[in-house]
Structures are given as C-alpha cells and as structure tokens.
A and B are shown apart, each in its own frame.
Chain A
Amino acid sequence: MLRTALLAGSEQGINRLLRLDPTALSRLARLSGTLIEVRCTQPDLTLFVMADDQGLRLAAQWDGTPDCTLHAPASSLARLAVSPHKTAILHEPHVRLEGDSAALMSLAEVLQSLELDWEHELSRWLGPVGTQLLGDAVRKQGRWLRQSGHSLQQNLAEYLAEEARALVGTQEAEARFSELDELKLRLDRLDARIARLTPVSEPHDPA
C-alpha cells in the first residue's frame, strides 16, 4: 500500500509537470495502450508505465502482458533517463530489453525533451504582471549565476595551473601530447626502416 501511495504521488507530480509542456500530452497520446515494464534489478523493484493523452500512469503491478520490458540496475536506469546516448546504455551487458524497444525510446524522448512553460502555471497564481517581474528576475539571476560559474571555473583552472602549479594547464598538456605524438611517429618510422634493412632469412627446405 505504501508503494501504491508513493507511486500515486509521483504520478500526480509527473503529470502536473507534463501539463506544463503544451506538446507533451499529445506526443504521449501516440503511446496510448502501450504497457512498459521496468524491472530494476538492483534494488529489486518493478514498475509498470503507461501513457495516454492525460499523462503517465505508474503502477507497482499490472495484470497484463507488457509490450516492452527493460531489465537494468538502478544506476543504468538513472543514466538512461538523462543521457542523450540511450542506445549505448541499452547495449551494456547488465541491461536487457525485451519486446518493442521503440515504445520505450519514444517515452524516454518525450520525457527528456520537455519544455516546461512554468511561467504559464505561475501566471495562474500571480497574474501576468507578477509573473513577468518574477520571470525577469529569475532569468537575470540565472544569467548572473551562469556567468559567475563560468568565471569561477576559469579563474580556478588558471590558479591551479599557472600559480599553484598543482595541475598541468591545457596548453601545456596539449604541447606535451603533440610531442608524444611526434615521438610515436618517429618510432614508427624507425621501426619500418629497421624492418627494411633486416635481411629476410628464408627457411631452407632440405628437400
């Protein structure tokens, strides 16, 4: 019952989020009638997912034959949810997919490409002016945070490489790598030259 309650809560939250993307529900409607079973192997959990034009339905059990079953540990499932390279994850040795993989990929794609119009939802509570003011402030703050983060990253890298000499700088590393590449090429050439100069000793056939 606890799992049912948790799933009911999650389902409600996810469906609220999905409604913030004006196109998500119509894209999910194409998956109507499809039953996807996700079997998490570590820890041992099973989840059934269905989609329709009203959102997702999550269930701890479902009496029916799934169209697609995914067996994977939690770590792979988490990566599958966020990674753009899903095919590579699905080919990992501990991940197993049975049935129609297209259904699973379509569902993952819809969830990953969500463009949430949170300002629309907010405007229902704050009104258009309040939402605009808040939206501007959040966007400004977001820009400042991104710039500050980028700047902090650059300064830290420069300090560690140039001043503290704790790390090798990018340019310095690239110079060393080119030297190594050049050395490898020269060694290959030397190998080839030695091979050409060494007389070929044919095995003599006593007959």
Chain B
Amino acid sequence: MSDPRNTPTEEPVTHFGYKSVPESQKAEKVAEVFHSVAAKYDLMNDLMSGGIHRLWKRFTIELSGARPGNRILDIAGGTGDLTRQFSRLVGPTGEVVLADINASMLKVGRDRLLDNGAAGNIRFVQADAEKLPFPDNHFNVVTIAFGLRNVTHKEDAIASMLRVLKPGGRLLVLEFSKPTNPLFAKAYDAYSFSLLPLMGKLITNDSESYRYLAESIRMHPDQDTLKAMMVTAGFDRVTYHNMTGGVVALHRGIKP
C-alpha cells in the first residue's frame, strides 16, 4: 500500500514524492507546497493540462448526479472549481461545503468564489480529510479532486468519507493515475519530469513543488489499487473511468 506503517517502536514513515518522511511531517510538507503555489494555482493548472482539467472536472460533475437540495462536500476543494458548479446545481435549498486542509488554498478559493458571485449556499471549512468534522450520514455527494494523493493515510480518509456520506450517497475521487498506453506513459513521464518543473520555475519560481507533483503522481495507487481500497473501505458498485489515456481517473463508489 502507499502508506506503510512501520513498527510501533519507531515513527512510521510515508512517502513525500520519492522521498520517505516521518508521517507527522508529510502534512506539513504538503502544506508548504500548496502555500507556495496557491496564488498561481489556477494559472498553473491551465498551463500544465492545456485547460483539460476543466473537462475532467466537468465529467466529475456529470457523474455526481447532484440535484437541487443536495448537500455536497468538496474535499481538497482548492480554488473552488467544483464547488462553484455544485453551488449552481444544488440551488438555494442545498449546501456545498468546500473543505481544504490548507488555509492558503481555502482563502484563494473563498475569494475567488465570492468574486464570482458564488455565495449563500457555500460553507468553507478547514479540515483534514482523514478526520472530517461532520456528522455521520450527512452528505449526498463527497468529491475529492486531485487531493487524495497528498493525504498521509488514504485508507483513513476514504473511511472518513464513507462515514459522512448518506446511504446511497456517492464518493467521487478525481485523481492522477497511470496511463494505459506504455508509449504514451513514456512521453508523459518526460513531460512531467522535465517540463513541469520548468514551468513551475518560470511561473511560480518554485520548481520543487512541481517536481513533488510529478513524483507524488507516480507514488499514488493506480486505478485498480484505488478501486480495491474503496471496496475494502466498504463502498459498493465501485467503478472508474480513465480520462486522457489514464493520466487521470475518476473513481466512483456508492455507500451501501
């Protein structure tokens, strides 16, 4: 699994990109990355993906089945792309909670949503995905887009998401994954390890954060492993959809 827990005598270690770090330090190191990139997060997303991240998110919305009056939790909601769409879908009778562990990202997301007139049915909560501060059986839909790979204990986070979902509610995990075509995978590797850090250096003056991005994607469980993790956590009817040749996968599971 991605989060090896070592013997009780020494502090367990986990991966931070390709490095191994004590578990207690991972959240802090991830936070540093996002504090550093928060201001230009959207610009970088557009540049790195050529704008395709908007289509991945759009597909996530389509599979969410969100309806007016629904209660939706957008974990690691960052700059609020999904929250804004969900806010429109659930209407004034529904509620969307934008949760992020990182205060800088939450602030950027909140400002951006308010500037775009998205307000009234949105709440902002700084929360850890592993210990969600919400009651059991509370949300109709829970989404986590490009956030799960940064979580230290992914199993705990998935279990926490299952807990806060209502029976019949759905979890959508949008995350980088493993390209299905080996040739394409090689080109993608070349892009990730040479161009991404360069773009990071030029735009945010921080190549290390984007090197971490590329490394953390490689360390993240592949499509079938993540599916198995969701099934083990207790999700029913778990399926995944590969997008852009498997660069990104959308996993969906229903709470029984």
Task: Name A's B-contacting residues (CB within 8 A).
Answer: 1, 4-5, 8, 32-33, 50, 52, 54, 57, 59-64
Cβ proximity bits B58-74 to A, threshold 8 Å, 1 near / 0 not: 11011111011000000
Closest partner residue, chain A, to B93 (CB atom):
A33
Given the interface pairs A1-B55, A52-B88, A54-B88, the reply to whether A63 lies near B244 with Cβ below 8 Å is no
Known: A1-B244, A61-B63, A63-B65. Contact between A8 and B58, CB under 8 A? yes
18 contacts between A and B (CB under 8 A): A1-B59, A5-B55, A8-B54, A8-B55, A8-B58, A32-B91, A33-B67, A33-B68, A33-B91, A52-B91, A59-B58, A59-B61, A60-B62, A61-B62, A61-B63, A62-B62, A63-B65, A64-B67
Q: What's the least CB distance linking A65 to chain B, in Å? A: 9
For A5, the chain B residues whose CB sits under 8 A away are 55
B125 part of interface (Cβ distance < 8 Å) = no
Distance, CA A131 to CA B203, complexed state (A): 39
B62 partner residues in chain A, CB cutoff 8 A: 4, 59-63
- Decide yes or no whether B243 CB sits under 8 A from chain A: yes
User: Which of the four size classes fits the interface of chain B?
Assistant: 10 to 19
A110 to chain B, nearest CB (A): 18
Q: Given contacts A1-B55, A4-B58, A61-B62, are A32 and B243 in contact (CB under 8 A)?
A: no
Closest chain B residue to A63 by CB distance?
A: B65
Interchain nearest-CB distance for B107 vs A (Å): 25
Using Cβ atoms and an 8 Å threshold, which residues of chain A touch B244?
1
Residues of chain B whose beta carbon lies under 8 Å from any beta carbon of chain A: 52, 54-55, 58-59, 61-65, 67-68, 88-89, 91, 243-244
Chain B residues, CB < 8 A from A59: 58, 61-62
Give Cα A63 to B54, complex, Å: 19
List B contacts of A32 (CB < 8 A): 68, 91
- What distance in Å separates the Cβ of B121 from its nearest Cβ neighbour in chain A? 13
Residues of chain B with a CB closer than 8 A to A4's CB: 55, 58-59, 62
A54, closest chain B residue (CB):
B88
Task: Tell me the bound Cα distance from A57 to B62 in angstroms.
Answer: 10
Cβ-closest chain A residue relative to B65: A63
Q: With a CB–CB cut-off of 8 A, which chain B residues contact A61? A: 62-63
Which residues from chain A contact B58 at a C-beta distance below 8 Å? 4, 8, 59
A63 touches B55 (CB 8 A): no
Please indicate the chain B residues that have their CB under 8 angstroms from the CB of A62 in the complex: 62, 65
Q: Report B145 CB to chain A, min CB distance, Å.
A: 16
A54 — which chain B residues lie within 8 A by C-beta?
Answer: 88
A177 to B88, CA, bound (A): 61
Smallest beta-carbon distance A63→chain B, Å: 4
Q: From A50, which residue of chain B is reached at the shortest CB distance?
A: B89
In the complex, what residues of B have CB within 8 A of residue A1's CB? Answer: 52, 55, 59, 243-244
Contact A64–B55 (Cβ < 8 Å): no
Instruction: Tell me, in angstroms, the Cα distance from A177 to B67 when the chains sit together.
Output: 60
A199 to B137, CA, bound (A): 91
> Which residues on the A side are within 8 Å of B91 (C-beta)?
32-33, 52
Residue of B nearest to A32 (CB): B91
